[in-house]
Structure formats: C-alpha cells, structure tokens
Amino acid sequence: MTGTRPKGVRALVRMLVAAVILPLAVAFVGVGTASADPYTRFAGDWVPAPGGVGQIKVRIWFANNGSNKAVYLLDGLRATDDVSGWEHETNAAWLADNGINVVMPVGGQSSFYADWYSPSNLNRQPYTYKWESFLTQNLPDHLARYGISRSSNAVVGLSMGGNAALILAAYHRDQFAFAGSLSGYLNLSAPGMREAIRVAMLDAGGYNADAMWGPPWNSAWLRHDPFVAAPKMRGLSMWISAASGLPGQHDRPNSLVGAFNTSNAMGLEALALAQNRAFQVRLATLGIDAHFSFPARGTHTWGYWQDELWAMLPTMKSAIGA
C-alpha cells in the first residue's frame, strides 16, 4: 500500500544526520534534551493488512520512560514506500526521548488514510486501500504486543494526513484523545475542493478518487470532511495549524527549482490557511474548543510542520496522559 518518491543523496544525508548527529544536539525547539538515540529503542515491523492482503511497514520508536501512550504520525499525499516523510524530513523520532512512543506507518500515497471502495483502476492498483481499518484494528493489535495502549493515544498528520487525523479521532474517540492537523484541508465541501483533490490524486500516483469515496455526490465525501464531522470532535483535544503562505526560515528559493518549489508551497499553504480559518469558525459556532496556530510566515514545507510538532508536544502529552 505504497507510492514512490525518489530522495537521492540528500535523503541519505538527512537520514545519516538523524541517525548520528542529532542525538548529540543539546535540545529540540526548547523541549527537553535528547538524552539518548531513539534508534536504540526502535522496531521496524511488517504488520498484516486488513483482509490478509499483504503487509504494511511500520516503524516504532519506544518511549524512554516506558510510557504506554503513542502518537501515530500520518504522512502527506506523496507518502513513500521506504520510510515515512516524518522520518525522511524531520526529527520526529526524538519525541520518544520525551516520554511518548512514536509510530510511523509507511506508505498510503493519495489514500487519505481511508477505507476505499475499490482498487484504483487508472494506475492498476492491485488491492483496495483499507487504511482506516488498519490504523484502528490491525495496528493497535500489533502495538499491544509491545504494551502500547489501545486507547487515549494521539494522531497527528500533515496536509492529507491532517484531514485524516481529525477524521480518525472523530470516529474513534476511545483510541485517540488528541488530534493534530498541520496544513490540513479541513473543508472538503467547499466549492472546487473535491475537483482539486481529484486532480492532486491523479498527479500523485495516478489514483482515481472515484475508487476512494465514489463520485463527488457520494455520501462518503461528507463522512470524511472534518467540516461536516466537526460535531463529533466535541471534547477532543486538538492542535490545528496552518501558516500564512509567506516564505520563512525553512524556505530556500535560491535556485530555479527552489523558487518553483517555494511558489508551489506558498499556494498550497494559502489554501490550507483559508480552510483552517473556515474550520475555526465552524468549531466556534458549535462551541467546540481547539488550539489554533497560525504562524505569520511559513509554507507547505516540512520544517514548519516539525516546528509545530514540537510546539504541540506538552499539550499532546497532557491530553493522552503520557
């Protein structure tokens, strides 16, 4: 249940930094000190997919204090089949040095971490995505073997994964007591959004949105729209973030490719901000509390998502009892 995104030498350098240099750092974003390399408390497992159709790679970093609470980290639209973007691009594994188990499922390109109706025919997908079932049944069963709780955990995602984090927590309240959405698209019923998602999925792996939730008028689109599902989030601890779209410290538009990537990330983040602002109003009208973070600068880029992940850590731990 995977996609592809070649990383090359830069990805290898980032992974070497994560494995060797970062454990020596003094602190992460003002949250504690890296006391040990979390890769000494690591398991890379293959977990059966729902229906016995293959296996899904899962990478786990165990909490340094023996906590039984975990955060599930969900990837973006172009999730890869080697390791999660959270591992490729950030120091998220080091959350484990701060008293929380870190769980990164691998793969799920263009999936929205949902249970699909059928395999995608346009790219000849050989199986049907069943990500919600996997994340709420197969994976908790597997994690229980390590003593990780089935209940009151956290789920955090970016972009596509931000949408999924809120939906998973809304419909599985016993499993998730905290949800974090970073630059998520939280109003799928807004004009043009379903068409935009269809185009984005075609671009990210050639996936057919009809195989996911049916045609745009199918009720499954409403079921997976955080704006519609908002009433189910009452009492859920949430951290919801989107930046302005203006370039900041993590953008490097110093080449033609860099300038193109930055301009693209600016547009994506500006759309996410509009969606997040609409969602903020939606929660306010329902009288539902959530923490909203709207940085003055930032684009649809990993560095800003890493910053928000560390900023939310105290709130996350308090919510799940880690």
Q: What is the tens place of the pLDDT at every residue in 237-260? A: 999 999 999 998 998 877 776 777
* pTM (two decimals): 0.88
The runs of H, that is alpha helices, within the chain are 8-16, 85-89, 131-133, 139-144, 160-171, 193-203, 209-213, 219-223, 226-229, 256-286, 302-320
Whether 224 sits among the annotated catalytic residues: the reply is no
Q: Which of 159, 181, 183, 237 is catalytic?
A: 159
Residue with tokens 């490719």: 257
Across the chain, which has 322 residues, the per-10-residue mean pLDDT values are: 41 36 33 64 96 92 97 97 96 97 98 98 96 98 98 98 98 98 96 95 96 96 98 98 93 74 90 97 98 96 97 98 94
Q: Are 150 and 177 in contact (CB under 8 A)?
A: no
Q: Which of 87, 132, 300, 308 is catalytic?
A: 300
Phi and psi at residue 74, in whole multiples of 5°? -105, 140
β-strand pairing of 55-61 with 101-105? antiparallel
Tell me the two tokens of residue 137.
């049944």
Q: Which of 230, 207, 243, 13 is nearest to 109 (CA)?
A: 207
Q: Which of 89, 132, 269, 308 is catalytic?
A: 269
Q: Is 48 helix (H, G, I), strand (E, B) or coil?
A: strand
What pLDDT shows up at residue 53? 80
Whether 142 sits among the annotated catalytic residues: the reply is no
What pLDDT shows up at residue 218? 97
Residues ≥6 apart with Cβ < 8 Å to 188: 163, 194, 197, 221, 224, 225, 226, 227
Helices and strands, counts by H and E, the chain: 11, 8
Whether 269 sits among the annotated catalytic residues: the reply is yes
Residue with tokens 């990500």: 131
Q: Are 151 and 175 in contact (CB under 8 A)?
A: yes
